[in-house]
Every structure is written in structure tokens, then in C-alpha cells.
Amino acid sequence: MTAPDSTILIDDVPVPFKPGQTILEAALEAGVFIPHLCFHPELGAHGSCRLCNVIVNGRNISACTMKAASGQEIEVDTWLGESAQAYRRTLVQMLFVEGNHFCPSCEKSGNCQLQALGYDSEMMTPHFVEFYPHRPVDASHPDVLLDLNRCILCELCVRASRDMDGKSVFALAGRGMASHIIVNSPSGKLGDTNFSATDKAAHVCPVGAILIKRVGFAKPIGQRRYDLEPISEEATPRREVEEAK
Amino acid sequence: MLNLETAQSPHKLRRVAIEPVTRVEGHGKVTILLGDENRVHQVRLHIVEFRGFEVFIRGRPYWEVPIAVQRLCGICPVSHLLAATKAMDLIAGYGPLTPTAEKLRRLLHYGQIVQSHALHFFYLSSPDLLFGFESEVGKRNVLGVAAAFPDLAKQGILTRKFGQEVIRHIAGKRIHGTGVISGGVNKALAQADRDSMRAGVDQIVDWSKAAAGLVVKLHGTSPEFYKNFGESRANMMGLVDQRGAVDFYHGALRARDADGGPIFDQVDYATYKSLLQEDVKNWSYMKFLHIKTLGPDKGWYRVGPLARVQVTDFLPTPLAEAERQKFLAVGGGKPLHGALMYHWARMIEMLHAAEMARELLDDPDIVKTELMADKGPRREEGIGVIEAPRGTLFHHYRVDENDLTTYCNLIVSTTNNNQAMNEAIRAVASRYLSGHELTEGLLNNIEVAIRAYDPCLSCATHALGQMPLEVDLVDADGALVSRARKG
Amino acid sequence: MSATAKTSALPKVRAATTSLAGCFGCHMSFLDIDERILDLMQIVEFDRSPLTDIKHCGPCDIALIEGGCCNAENVHVLRELRANAKILVAVGACAINGGLPALRNSLDVGDILNEVYRTPDGAASNVPKDPELPLLFDKVYPVNEVVRVDYFIPGCPPSGDTIWKFLNDLILGRMPRLDPQLMHYD
């Protein structure tokens, strides 16, 4: 029951898949990189970031939600003859200008998926007018910092806390431009919840919005995850980010 | 002493501006007000930049602060990184650093002093000294020096490169690295990196000695001019160790008056607010500091190389100390206050830093792997002071129990020199410009006096803020119930 | 790129540089090309730059801009360089997205000034006010929100090798492109 019984074509290369896998899961398992932010192997698909958009038999779909099926012809790097990189770059640019993503003094730099996808899509400038929003920082928890300047609304923390930790510490509130993460306590502060630094939700954030405190810049430049290899070379599905201690 | 600061009737006078001041770091402009027959009535160095760092850093976690604050300056980020981390060492509750961590931080600092002083002398100032203050504008820059004196230019470039490579090996990048963290450093020095630096340092010591020799030769072409140009008699301040020798990385505060007599000595730098006072003048974003006990007219002072080599009792490395003795001999027992004497003092310091770096590279501790200090109880407040290339640098922070910064105060090196620089350019203006037709070359004389101080003007717009202590009582919805204020 | 008899017969590429609301780190990183500057000067000459004494820019081929716009003077200088340069390059995080100085953007600049220049008793503020001081903006603006930018070199600062690769590509007529190990936002 473990042998794959079919293949899909990704940029003209046959890729095996198991029944029930999505295109993204099959691709990552085969070492084929499709950019993504809101997908996590243990939490499944969300379909919100749109970075994994591909063309399947001529139609735009998110690779994380579409189940792989025999006969699919999938375009990842070129869409209908055009380079797809510029479209992905635009998505990354929009994410950058919406928050306050100041890489130079952010401890997630070098370990950050958003930054790594910026490099991967050769984003040289955020291009759009910067929002410079005023976003809260919640340091009330003794061990975990919540810095919403960097939140990209992927809801990995919401899903992990609900489905894996059984705690439902985080939720998304508001609509449209006003959407934001909120904390499940009467005060709205993380320190007033039963959140713990050992929760799965404390380790799934792809950017620097949820951080274990007092780790900072312990990992030297040159030894950070994306110093060692670019995100596109990651052969296995996204590993849990290890917080250095 | 302040007679050229504010003219009687400025609206009746003609304005000439040097805008921007070039071959310095950051933005400055000089305005000169002239009356009949081109008599100089007013000269001011305006610092026109404002950052507001000490306000916008509030609310950031303390381990982020040194990495952010070093971005005040691209020439001396290591100084800010070290001073801020020294403050955060205390706040985070760390005890004494391991020998390896302290030595790596010191090596990093000496590397920085070598590159910064080399940059300033070779890339920024040498065109004036080698070609003449009023030489042709098109040639009066580092590329002109490289064309006319290729061997000298190459030595200068490679000396700076050595310092930058030391920084890269320890901090991870040449500019704005992350190698220094609260409690120590984040990476041990690899043996291969240590060997490569050790192989290069002897040459750097030789070249630094030659650079000091070059300045001596330049002085020899016109000794009185070099001694007196841009002179402003100033009190002097620097950090000294327990022996009374200047220590760039750590020490206690010493100040001497313009005649070399004592003002204060071996004072804990954490008490800086009781020693130093700031004033705001309307016409510059950079504040003016003076020693409190002496008042604003007599208490302004100088920091940096010209102060340090005269505040120290000796330099603890032999070649630099020998050069320092030659330097002191020019004053015949009295301290020297001419602006151009800074260049000589700066090359003496570059030599000293190179010798100190060599000692550390020969020290077996430098490649060991015990990098982090032990941690004790947290503190609310920390002050870190260091001798940056440009002078004494103060970083002062408070951090709350949630690890967020609540208070930041910075006295950046060049701010200490604000009045001294203004005095120097007034001296030049009244001696050389007043009564003359103002040519481009004559105006460059003013810039030469400023350049000698090696000002770092982007850093310098930070303040000794007498911040009141504010306590807010808020209810569960965040609404203000009451506020208490002190100070 | 090495100097040859052929290249010395061609007119030099004229470059202007400026640091607006920057820390000068990108200029220092440019100097991190170390001794390669001796080769560069066979082909490039500098117009207005913090490294020269030319106070105002004339016609030039390339303008390298470090720093964003925090006050009116920054914009005047930026526009002067844009008007005179065929190609304008935003170098470093500050020019590209505002950088460290832009961390003040979510705060009110008046509040910041009042805090910094508060009198010792806390009762009032002596904010410097003089016609010689350029007007401060409400926010720090990235360069591409003020003028048209032709190329961007990210980094804080971009390394000397990154700047060198870019200049080589540009001057030799290639499309400037950074290899992965030269691409950093920090």
C-alpha cells in the first residue's frame, strides 16, 4: 500500500503521488519546491497565502488544496509560457508592505520563511507604498513574545493551538484590512492564557511574530537555516522551526 | 569665547553657507554671517539630522536593541553594539564575562578602531593634508590621493581592510554584524581565522607606525601652523583603567582641564548624569554638553583621540607610547589643542589598537569556546560606556519585567565635541577668513577643522534627555486612572 | 574588470552618490570593495559624493542613493541627483523601505521631538527651531515613493561583493542580477 500508483507532471517532470495527497504534498515529498507560507505538514492546507498558486490543466489553483490526480499537467515556474516568478514576487511584496517587516534588527532573519521567499522570488524592493501600520507587541507572557508587526495572517498559530495543543489561544478577528490575531483571554493578553513555550503553537510561526523570549541572536550569521541553503533547496516538507538555545 | 556664536543684528549681514560639509560622516552645514569688508560676525555648525531613536526603540525587547542601535552609524556600528550590549549584560543579570568572550569583544573593538581611523585618515582627510587645503577640488578626494600616491593609498586601503576583516570574523559581517550578545559572544573564533589575522597583523602595525611617521613629516613642513590651526583650548575627557591608562573597551571617567590639571578621576561612568549637563540651542539638533561643576561657558570639553592621548598617563603598548612621547614633546609639557593635532593623535591610536590586536591574537584564550557568562538576578537599568573611535560613548537603558525597553538615553561621541568643533571653526574663520574674499578653498579651511574631529553626525543627534520618571496607573481596559511624575 | 589601454581611451563613467537619512553604512560597504577601487577608478569618476568636495551634482551616468527621505533637504538632494543621472540606484534597506529611521513612522513626529528636547523639569520642550534646520517630515519615505528608481540593491548594508557585482553588471552592459549568496535584506 506504500508504492505510489500514479504520477503527475510538474513542469514536464513526472512526480509520483500517493492517493489522498495534494499537489503540494506530493511535490515537496519528491523534492520539488513550490513556494508556500500557510501550509504545514502537520496542520494541512489553508489556501490563504496564494504563494503556492500553480496552473493545473490551464486553470489557477492553490497546490496546497488541490488533490493530486493522474493526468494532471502542472505548471509551477512558467505559466502559459510566462515566468511565474513575477506573480509570486508581487504577493510577497504585498505581504512585506502590509506589516512592519524590518529584517535588519529582527532575530528571525535568516530563519524566516517570508524573507526566504523574498530572496527566492528575487524581490529587490517591496515596490508598493509602505503601510507602516501601528501594530501591538504583547510581551505579557513570561516566555513567549507576540509581535504583531510581523504577522502575515497565515493562521498557523490559530490552527496549531486549536487542533494540536487543544487550547485555542489564538483566533482571527476583524474583516478585510482590519483582520488581526487576537488572544483568548479576558484581558486579551497572552500572559493571561494557559499558553506555554512548549506548545506546538509557539513553534509554528513562519515569521518573527511568535518568538521564544531571550533567544535573540544566539545563532551566528552563517549558521542560520537559510544561510545554509536557500528555501528552494529544502528537500523535505517544512520542518518545525528549531529555536536555538 | 561665544562671541562668534550669535551676531548682534543678523538681518543686516550677508550669509554664506557650506552645504553640505563633505568628507565627513553625516549631514552638517556651516553658516557664516559677514558684515562690511567681509568681517565675520557669526559662525555656526548646524547638525540638521534628527532620528528620534531613543523614543522609537521603546517597546522593543532588550536583546534586539544592540542590533538595532548599531545602525545609527555605518562607520562605528561596533561601538554602539558593544556599549549597548554592556548595558544589556547588566540588565539581563549576567556576571563577569568569560575571558574568551571579553577578549573577543576587545579584539572586535580594536579591529574597529583600526578600520575607522584608517578610513578617516586615508579616505577622508588625507586629500587636504597631502594636496593642500585650497588645492583643486576635482583632485581633492581619495581617488586623487590614489592617483598621486598609489602605494600610500594601497596601505591605507589594506589597513582598513584588515580592521574590517577582524570585525567580520567576530561579528559575522563587516558592517552591522550580530556576534555580540548579552552575556558574551555567539561564536567562537575558528583557528584558521585567527591564523589568517595573525599573519596579517605585523604588516598593519608597521603601516600604522609609518602613518604616524607621515603625520610627523607633514607637521615638520610647517610646525607652528600645524600646532595652532583651528585651536580651541578645551577640557578633555576619556575612559582610563585602574593604572590611569586609556582603555578603549572599559574603564572609569577622567577629565582634565586645558592645562592638563585634574577635574575628576576614576569616576564610575554610571554616575554620568551627575557629571555632565546638556543644553539645547535653537539652531542645531545636536545638543551641547558641559561638565556641570564648571558651567556652560567653561565646562565644555573634548573627547576622542586628541583628548585620549593627553588624558592617559601612558599607552600600554611600546610603539604607540613612543609615538605619543614625540607628540607630547611638541607641547613642551602643556596639552595641545590645535585641530590638526587630532590627526597625529589618531594615528598614534591606530598603532596602539593594532598592537593590542596583535597581543590578543597571540593569546591562547582567543580561540577557546567558553563564551557565555553566568546569569544572576535581573536588573531594571543598565549603563554601558565605551571609547568609540570618535570619543566617549554612553548608552543608558531601562527594561521592564516583560523584557521590553522603557527608556533609552544616548550620548554619542561627537555630541561631546559639539562646542569644541564650533570653537575650532570660529577660530579658523576669524584668523583666516575674516576680511577676505571667500573662495571655495578658503571655505574648505573651515571643513578641514571640522574633519579633524572625525565627526559622526548621523549618530550625533541623540540626547542626554532628562527624562522624567512617569508611572501610569491603568484599569483593566487600559484607561488611565492616575499618573505620577518625578524629575 | 581590469584597466587596459583600451578602456583608458573611453570617457569615464560619471557617478554621484549621496547618503540621505542613512547611517553611511552603504557608503562604507561600497568602500569594502577594498583595493578593487583602484581598478574601478580607471573607469569611474565621481561627481557629487560625501567622498568628494563637489557640492552639487552635474550631469552623470549613475547615482547611488543611500538612505530614505526624512526631511525636505533629503528630497531636494534626491531630486537633484534624479534630474542629473541617467540611472538611479537605491542602495540598502533605508533607501528601499525606510530602514531604521522609518521605525519612527508609526509614531507622531511631534511627540518624538517633544520627548527628546524636554526640559529637565519635564514641564516644557525646547525643540530646536531655526530657518537653517530643514523641515522634518511626518514619516520617513523610501526613495521610490519620491522619485523613479531604476535599480535596487538590498541589504543592511549590501556587502562590498554585492555592490561590486552590481556595478560590474551595470557598467559592462549586463542586466544586474545578484547570486543567492549576495542577496540579503539584513
User: With 90 as the cut, is the pLDDT of residue B475 above it?
Assistant: no
pLDDT at residue B485 above 80?
Answer: no
Sheet holding B381-388, edge to edge: B381-388, B391-399, B405-411
**How much is the pLDDT for B265?**
98
Does the pLDDT of residue B274 top 90, yes or no?
yes
Query: How many structural domains does chain C have?
Result: 1
Which CATH number fits the domain that encloses residue C154? Answer: 3.40.50.700
Owner of C-alpha cell 488533490: A67
What per-residue confidence (pLDDT) applies to B471?
A: 44
Using CB atoms, which residue from B44, B52, B154 is nearest to C112?
B52
Residue with cell 561564536: B187
Mean of the per-residue pLDDT values for chain B? 93
B274 residue type, one letter: S
Q: Is the peptide bond before C131 cis (omega within 30 degrees of 0)?
A: no
User: Nearest to residue B248, comparing CAs of B356, B321, B156?
Assistant: B356
User: Which residue among A100, A119, A133 places its CB closest to the CB of C183?
Assistant: A119
Phi, psi (deg, nearest 5) at residue B401: -75, -10
Q: What is the pLDDT of residues A151-190, one digit of tens each?
A: 999 999 999 999 999 999 999 999 998 999 999 999 999 9
Interface pTM (ipTM) of the complex?
0.93
pLDDT-wise least confident of A173-187, B53-67, B461-475, C33-47:
B461-475
Chain C residues with CB under 8 Å of A119 CB are 180, 183-185
A93 at the C interface (CB within 8 A)?
no
Q: How many residues does chain B have?
A: 487
Q: Is C108 within the bounds of a domain?
A: no
Note whether A148 and A188 are within 8 A (CB): no
A128 and A171 belong to one structural domain: yes
Give contacts of C139 with chain A, Cβ < 8 Å. 132
Q: Give the span between the Cα atoms of A50 and A32, in whole angstroms.
A: 17
Query: What cell numbers appear for B356 in the block?
Result: 593590542
CB pairs under 8 A between A and C: 67
| Cα–Cα distance measured from residue A131 to residue C141, given in angstroms and rounded to the nearest whole number | 11
Which residue of chain A is at minimal alpha-carbon distance from C140? A132
For residue B432, what is the DSSP state? I
Measure in Å the smallest separation between the Cα of A69 and chain C Cα atoms.
34
Pick the more confident residue, A236 or B292: B292
Q: Does B31 touch chain C (CB under 8 A)?
A: yes
How many Å lie between the alpha carbon of B187 and the closest alpha carbon of chain A? 6
CATH code (residue A194)? 3.30.70.20
| Nearest alpha-carbon partner for B406 in B64, B35, B60 | B60
Instruction: Establish how many alpha carbons lie within 13 A of residue A43's alpha carbon, considering only the half-sphere containing its beta carbon.
Output: 26
A69 and A132 fall within a common domain = no
User: Is residue B262 classed exposed, middle or buried when 0-12, 13-18 and 19+ CB atoms within 10 A define those classes?
Assistant: exposed
Instruction: Give the list of residues 6+ apart from residue B55 with CB closer than 8 angstroms, or none.
Output: B408, C104, C107, C111, C112, C115, C116
pLDDT in tens, A13-36: 999 999 999 999 999 999 999 999
Query: Across the interface, do C53 and B31 touch by the CB < 8 Å criterion?
Result: no
Give SS3 for A243.
coil
Give the pLDDT confidence of B353-363 residue by residue, as tens digits: 999 999 999 99
Plot region of B229 (φ>0 → left; ψ -120 to 50 → alpha; else → beta): beta
Q: What is the pLDDT of residues B382-394, one digit of tens each?
A: 999 999 999 999 9
Mean pLDDT of B217-233: 96
Sheet strand arrangement including B40-47 = B14-18, B28-34, B40-47
Q: Which domain holds residue C76?
A: 12-99+140-177
pLDDT at position A82 is 84
CA distance B396 to chain A (A): 19
Supply B322's cell numbers.
613612543
Q: Last residue of a domain, which of A33, A51, A81?
A: A81
Residues A206 and A91 placed together within one structural domain of the fold:
yes
Residues A139 and A192 in one domain: yes
In a domain, C106, yes or no: no
* From C35, C53, C160, residue closest to B158, measured CB to CB: C35
Q: Is residue A236 part of a domain?
A: no
Q: Which residues of B touch C118 (CB under 8 A)?
A: 465-468
Q: What is the pLDDT confidence band of residue B310, given thresholds at 50, 70 and 90?
A: very high
Domain annotation covers residue A239: no
- Residue B478: pLDDT band (50, 70, 90) is very low
Measured CA distances, C155 to A61, B67, C26, C96 (Å) = 34, 15, 9, 9
Give the closest of C41, C53, C119 to B444, CB-based: C53
Distance, CA of B129 to CA of B121 (rounded, Å): 9
Cα–Cα dist B216/B447, whole Å: 22
**Which of B55, B175, B485 lies at the smallest CB-CB distance from C116?**
B55
Residue B479: pLDDT over 90 = no
**A71 and A99 share a domain?**
no
**pLDDT at residue C120, rounded to an integer:** 72
CA angle (B21, B23, B25) in 5-degree steps: 85
**Residue C134 lies inside a defined structural domain of this protein:** no
Question: Do A64 and A116 belong to one domain?
Answer: no
pLDDT for res C2: 53
Looking at domain B52-428, its CATH architecture is Orthogonal Bundle (1.10)
Residue A55 in domain: yes
Domain end marker among A81, A100, A134: A81
Please answer yes or no on whether B49 and C25 come within 8 Å at the CB atom: no
Helix (H, G, I), strand (E, B) or coil at B299: coil
pLDDT for res A44:
85
Distance (Å, whole) CA A159 – CA A40: 10
Task: Name residue, grid cell 505538514.
Answer: A41
What residue type is B165 in one-letter code? E
Dump pLDDT digits (tens) for B145-166: 999 999 999 999 999 999 999 9
User: Per-residue b/e over A204-228, b at no fewer than 16 CB within 10 Å?
Assistant: bbbbbbbbbbbebbbbbbeebbbbe
Alpha carbon separation from A245 to A214, B85, B186 (Å, rounded) = 9, 19, 11
Map grid coordinates 602595525 to a residue.
B205
Q: What is the CATH number of the domain that holds A58?
A: 3.10.20.740
Domain identity same for A38 and A117: no
Cis peptide upstream of residue B389 (ω within 30 degrees of 0): no
Contact C97 A134 (CB under 8 A): no
Instruction: Name residues of chain C where pLDDT drops below 70.
Output: 1-8
The boundaries of the domain holding residue A35 are 6-81
Contacts of A106 in chain C (CB under 8 A): 186
Indicate whether A90 and A207 sit together in one domain: yes
Q: In the prediction, which pLDDT does A239 show? A: 42
Domain count, chain A: 2
Would you state the pLDDT for residue B480?
58
Same domain, A10 and A69: yes
User: Could you give phi then psi for residue B397, rounded to 5 degrees?
Assistant: -135, 155
pLDDT value of residue A104: 97
Residue B187, SS3 per DSSP: coil
Contact A84, A51 (CB under 8 A): no
Residues of chain A predicted below pLDDT 50: 1-4, 237-245
Sketch the domain layout of chain B as residue ranges: 52-428
